[in-house]
Amino acid sequence: MTKPGDVPTVTLPSGARMPMVGFGTWKLRGREARQAVLEALRTGYRHVDTATMYANESEVGLALADSGLQRSSVFVTTKIRPSDAGRARQVLQASLRALGTEYLDLWLVHWPPRSTSEGRQLWSELLAAHAEGLVRDVGVSNYSLAQIDDLTRSSGQQPAVNQIDWGPTLYDAGVLAGHAERAIAVEGYSSLKNTRLGDPVLTQIAAAHGVTPAQVVLRWHLEHGITVIPKSSHPDRIASNFDLFSFALTNAEQATIDGMAR
Ligand SMILES: NC(=O)c1ccc[n+]([C@@H]2O[C@H](COP(=O)([O-])OP(=O)(O)OC[C@H]3O[C@@H](n4cnc5c(N)ncnc54)[C@H](OP(=O)(O)O)[C@@H]3O)[C@@H](O)[C@H]2O)c1
């Protein structure tokens, strides 16, 4: 059984260590959200990913409280919508209240605002919250490397993380190398949703290791240094998506899965 300490971490600029397996919460609402997040925390996940847009920050906060875990033992990410540029401080206060916490581990711009100037404005608001200690690290989501470079040039501070759509069919070695050169951590989202789990490439590799295709896909991300945040409302899947450390892919298997890129 995987224990929280088995999960590798990525060290972010603040020195905080982000567990490379987190629990995604998009589409989870109300009682189901609270139950699923609590189940994930009981399973051993110590990283939860939410967003104001998911309308479940309160349920995530309740689950954190239900778990009885110390706040410092769980890595909490939320995101701000680009349309909230200009009122980020208010939005952050609401997120903190809903989550029942005094600080965030990671705060992300959910997707790039329409204009470069709005993007820079919002980024400066995130940096202000970071400087005040309300947020340990700040980052972005759905940004291109060019958009990231613009933020870095204009503010002198680069995002710690970029959370992007990922999976075997979206594999792009150039994108990964670009983030690695800049020392920006990549989080992959919709990793399972983006993947045909019945693909024979995956089922054969899964059978060779006695695991599921979903576990193969998630393990493939980790071996590329990409943090994963699978979502599930089913306890058996919540458990198996976390159980990624009893096997390793061979270099040949890793390369075969890379070859699923379209
Ligand atoms: N930054 C962004 O713009 C952005 C966008 C999308 C997502 N995200 C984040 O990334 C997280 C993950 O992405 P996602 O929720 O879109 O997709 P995902 O985690 O890749 O896939 C979730 C779907 O796969 C199913 N599933 C989960 N485990 C499975 C398994 N072991 N075998 C088969 N099916 C399985 C789930 O169904 P059940 O629940 O029925 O198990 C659900 O339908 C989100 O929850 C959210 O936190 C961020």
Q: Are strands 17-19 and 227-228 parallel, antiparallel or unpaired?
A: unpaired
Per-residue pLDDT of the chain (262 residues; tens, 9 = 90+): 899 999 999 999 999 999 999 999 999 999 999 999 999 999 999 999 999 999 999 999 999 999 999 999 999 999 999 999 999 999 999 999 999 999 999 999 999 999 999 999 999 999 999 999 999 999 999 999 999 999 999 999 999 999 999 999 999 999 999 999 999 999 999 999 999 999 999 999 999 999 999 999 999 999 999 999 999 999 999 999 999 999 999 999 999 999 999 9
Cα separations in angstroms, 146 against 78, 108, 141: 23, 17, 13
**CB distance 230 to ligand 1 below 6 Å:** yes
Residue tagged 């110390």 (tokens)? 70
**CB-hemisphere CA count at 13 Å for 232?**
19
Q: How many CB atoms lie within 10 A of CB 51?
A: 20
Q: How far is the CA of 155 from the centre of ligand 1 (A)?
A: 33
Q: What is the 3-state secondary structure (H, E, C) of 34-63?
A: HHHHHHHHHHCCCEEECCHHHCCHHHHHHH
Q: How far is the CA of 26 from the centre of ligand 1 (A)?
A: 7
Which residue in the list 45, 54, 171, 189 is annotated as catalytic? 54
